[in-house]
Chains A and B, each alone.
Chain A
Amino acid sequence: MNHWYMLTLVGKDRPGIVAKVTAALYDGGCNLGEASMMRLGGTFTIMLMVDFERSSKALIDLISPVAESLDLHLHLDRIEGRLHQHVEPDARVTVYGADRAGIVAKVTGALAEAGFNITDLESMVGGSEDKPIYVMQIEGTAAEGIESLQAAVDVIRKEGVEAHMEPIETLIG
Chain B
Amino acid sequence: MAILEILTYPDARLKQESLPVEQFDDELRAFLADLEQTMLAGPGGVGIAAPQVGRFRRIVIVDCSRTRKPVPNHGRLFIVNPEITAWEGMTSGREGCMSVPDYTGNVIRAEKISLSYHDAHGKLQQLDAEGYEARAIQHEIDHLDGLLFLDRLVSRRNDLFRRKVYQPTPEQQPKT
Residues of A within 8 A of B (CB): 84-86, 88, 92, 94, 120, 122, 135, 137, 162, 164, 167-173
Instruction: Give the residue name and chain of the B residue nearest to A122 (CB).
Output: B157
Q: Which residues of B contact A88 (CB under 8 A)?
A: 96, 104
Chain B proximity of A39: nearest CB distance (Å)? 12
Q: Roughly how many angstroms separate A37 CA and B93 CA in the complex, as a whole number?
A: 24
Assuming the A-B contacts A86-B102, A162-B172, A164-B172, are A169 and B160 also in contact, with contact meaning beta carbons closer than 8 angstroms in the complex? no
Most buried by B among A92, A94, A173: A173
CA distance in complex: A94, B172 (Å)? 11
CA distance in complex: A137, B159 (Å): 11
Interface residues of B in 11-62 (CB under 8 A from A): 42-49, 62
Asked if A172 and B43 make an inter-chain contact with CB atoms under 8 angstroms apart, the answer reads: yes
Partner among B95, B140, B160, B164 whose Cβ is within 8 Å of the Cβ of A170: B95
Name the distance in Å between B40's Cβ and chain A's nearest Cβ.
12
A-B contact pairs, 5 of them (CB 8 A): A84-B102, A85-B102, A137-B157, A171-B136, A173-B96
Closest to A166 in B: B160
- Taking A84-B102, A88-B104 as contacts, is the C-beta distance between A172 and B45 under 8 angstroms? yes
At the interface, is chain B mostly helix, strand, loop or mixed? mixed
Q: Return the contact of A172 from the options B46, B49, B161, B172 (Cβ within 8 A).
A: B46
Contact A172 B97 (CB under 8 A): yes
- Pairwise interchain contact A169-B132, C-beta atoms closer than 8 A: yes
Query: Is the CB–CB distance between A173 and B47 below 8 Å?
Result: yes
Q: For the side of the interface on B, what is the size category? A: 20 to 34
Which of chain B's residues has its CB closest to A120's CB?
Answer: B156
Tell me whether B94 and A173 are in contact (CB under 8 A): no
A84-B102, A137-B157, A162-B172 given as contacts; is B93 within 8 A of A171 (CB)? yes
Say whether B94 contacts A171, CB under 8 Å. Answer: yes
Q: Note all chain B residues with C-beta closer than 8 A to A170.
A: 94-96, 104
Write out, one digit per residue, whether chain B residues 115-156 have a CB within 8 A of any chain A CB (1) or not (0): 000000000000000001001100110000000000000001
User: Please, how many angstroms separate the alpha-carbon atoms of A97 and B160 in the complex?
Assistant: 17
The residues of A that contact B42 with a CB separation of less than 8 Å are 172
The residue that A171 contacts in the complex, of B103, B139, B156, B161, with Cβ under 8 A, is B139
Q: How far is the CB of A173 from chain B (nearest CB, A)?
A: 4
Task: Give me 20 other A-B pairs in contact (C-beta within 8 A), A94-B161, A173-B96 excluded.
Answer: A85-B102, A86-B103, A94-B160, A122-B157, A162-B172, A168-B94, A170-B94, A170-B104, A171-B46, A171-B94, A171-B95, A171-B96, A171-B132, A171-B139, A172-B96, A172-B98, A173-B95, A173-B98, A173-B136, A173-B139
